[in-house]
């Protein structure tokens, strides 16, 4: 069963992506409008009612903008704590996906979903690893550090969307107020290009099956797509670790290509 992934939007102005097989399609996060979602799904021959759920990573607005509206046509899956935080932000959730123990993992159609904890200033933030047969996709953004638990969860992925939030010098010299710089740099903030490169090298040193490495949640103030790409791509090349892996970036305003595990 082939696994496919597309990012519709990635960044601090909104996040939403889709993982699917021939039979099941689930969203990750709801940071775009229903109109935009409907347009993107139409390009794939889908309508919102085809979705089997939306997985939420955490309650920050760039991830839950339209979660109340999405929940009118598909089930919302997230931890109990995050669900409460979403409701506390005056979002009414119509349909909640029932799972026995969220962090133990669960099935939606022919996808197996494994949430894993990340380090971010939200009540119970997670990334996701999603498998179908032998194929594995993982997404890890919005974490100030990459823990061993996170590395273990994402290590053997075939497709990985990994945060490359900021360039450390651009952030330090940039116009953000000191408190915001501290927040981003903190262990519950976001990771920089250099850390993304280290994580990529760590994964590539053991994983010969990483086909697609997609860099995401790229800051529009403190990074550029080009700088994030070159830092990771050139760094992997210099260490002779790139191998067959294709490196690309997921942007704020345009969908990526539809990635398929070969
Ligand atoms: Zn975010
Ligand atoms: Zn966040």
Cα-to-centroid distance, 14 and ligand 1 (Å): 7
241 exposure class (CB count in 10 Å sphere: 0-12, 13-18, 19+)? middle
Neighbours of ion ligand 1 (CB under 5 A): 62, 142
CATH superfamily ID and name for 4-257: Ribonuclease Z/Hydroxyacylglutathione hydrolase-like (3.60.15.10)
Report the C-alpha gap between 242 and 235 in whole angstroms: 9
Report the C-alpha gap between 53 and 71 in whole angstroms: 9
Q: Is 212:158 a contact under the CB 8 Å cutoff? A: yes
Q: Is 178:24 a contact under the CB 8 Å cutoff? A: no
Cα-to-centroid distance, 67 and ligand 1 (Å): 14
Cα-to-centroid distance, 55 and ligand 1 (Å): 14
- pLDDT, one tens digit per residue, over 65-91 is 999 999 999 999 999 999 999 999 999
Ligand with smallest separation from the Cα of 15: 1
- pLDDT, one tens digit per residue, over 128-177 is 999 999 999 999 999 999 999 999 999 999 999 999 999 999 999 999 99
Across 7-17, average pLDDT: 98
Report the C-alpha gap between 84 and 203 in whole angstroms: 34
Q: What H or E segment, with its residue span, contains residue 84?
A: helix 80-88
Cα-to-centroid distance, 4 and ligand 2 (Å): 25
DSSP 8-state assignment for residue 38: H
Q: How far is the first Cα of the chain from the last one, in angstroms, to the nearest whole number?
A: 10
The pTM (predicted TM-score) of the whole model is 0.97
Indicate the pairing of strand 4-9 with strand 54-55: unpaired
Provide φ and ψ at 139, rounded to 5°.
-130, 130
In this predicted structure, what is the pLDDT of residue 101? 96
In this predicted structure, what is the pLDDT of residue 262? 74
In this predicted structure, what is the pLDDT of residue 1? 57
| Tokens describing residue 51 | 């979705």
Q: What H or E segment, with its residue span, contains residue 203?
A: helix 193-204
Position 118 pLDDT exceeds 90: yes
Ligand with smallest separation from the Cα of 85: 2
- pLDDT, one tens digit per residue, over 196-209 is 999 999 999 998 89
Ligand with smallest separation from the Cα of 143: 2
Cα-to-centroid distance, 72 and ligand 1 (Å): 23
Cα-to-centroid distance, 165 and ligand 1 (Å): 10
Cα-to-centroid distance, 39 and ligand 1 (Å): 22
- pLDDT, one tens digit per residue, over 164-177 is 999 999 999 999 99
In this predicted structure, what is the pLDDT of residue 204? 97
Closest by CA to 116, choosing from 126, 124, 106, is 126
Cα-to-centroid distance, 134 and ligand 2 (Å): 30
Cα-to-centroid distance, 62 and ligand 1 (Å): 5
Cα-to-centroid distance, 241 and ligand 1 (Å): 29
In this predicted structure, what is the pLDDT of residue 207? 87
| Tokens describing residue 127 | 């990334």
Report the C-alpha gap between 71 and 232 in whole angstroms: 36
- pLDDT, one tens digit per residue, over 53-63 is 999 999 999 99
Cα-to-centroid distance, 12 and ligand 1 (Å): 5
- pLDDT, one tens digit per residue, over 191-237 is 999 999 999 999 999 988 999 999 999 999 999 999 999 999 999 99
DSSP 8-state assignment for residue 45: T
């Amino acid at each position: 069963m082939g696994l496919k992934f597309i990012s519709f939007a990635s960044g601090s102005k909104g996040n939403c992506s889709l993982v699917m097989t021939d039979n099941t399609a689930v969203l990750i996060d709801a940071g775009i409008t229903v109109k935009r979602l409907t347009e993107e799904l139409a390009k794939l021959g889908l309508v919102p009612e085809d979705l089997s759920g939306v997985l939420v990573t955490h309650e920050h607005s760039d991830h839950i903008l339209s979660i109340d509206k999405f929940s009118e046509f598909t089930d919302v899956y997230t931890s109990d704590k995050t669900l409460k935080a979403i409701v506390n932000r005056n979002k009414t959730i119509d349909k909640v996906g029932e799972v026995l123990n969220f962090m133990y993992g669960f099935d939606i159609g022919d996808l197996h979903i494994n949430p894993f904890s990340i380090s971010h200033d939200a009540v119970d933030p997670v990334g996701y690893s999603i498998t179908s047969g032998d194929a594995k996709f993982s997404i890890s953004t919005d974490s100030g550090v990459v823990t061993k638990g996170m590395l273990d969860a994402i290590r053997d992925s075939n497709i990985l969307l990994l945060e490359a939030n900021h360039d450390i010098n651009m952030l330090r010299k940039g116009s953000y107020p000191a408190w915001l710089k501290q927040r981003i740099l903190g262990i519950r903030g976001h990771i920089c290009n250099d850390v993304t490169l280290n994580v990529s090298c760590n994964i590539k040193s053991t994983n010969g099956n990483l086909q697609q490495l997609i860099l995401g949640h790229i800051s529009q103030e403190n990074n550029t797509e080009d700088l994030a790409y070159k830092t990771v791509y050139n760094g992997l090349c210099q260490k002779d670790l790139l191998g067959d892996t294709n490196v690309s970036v997921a942007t704020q305003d345009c969908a990526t290509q539809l990635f398929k595990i070969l």
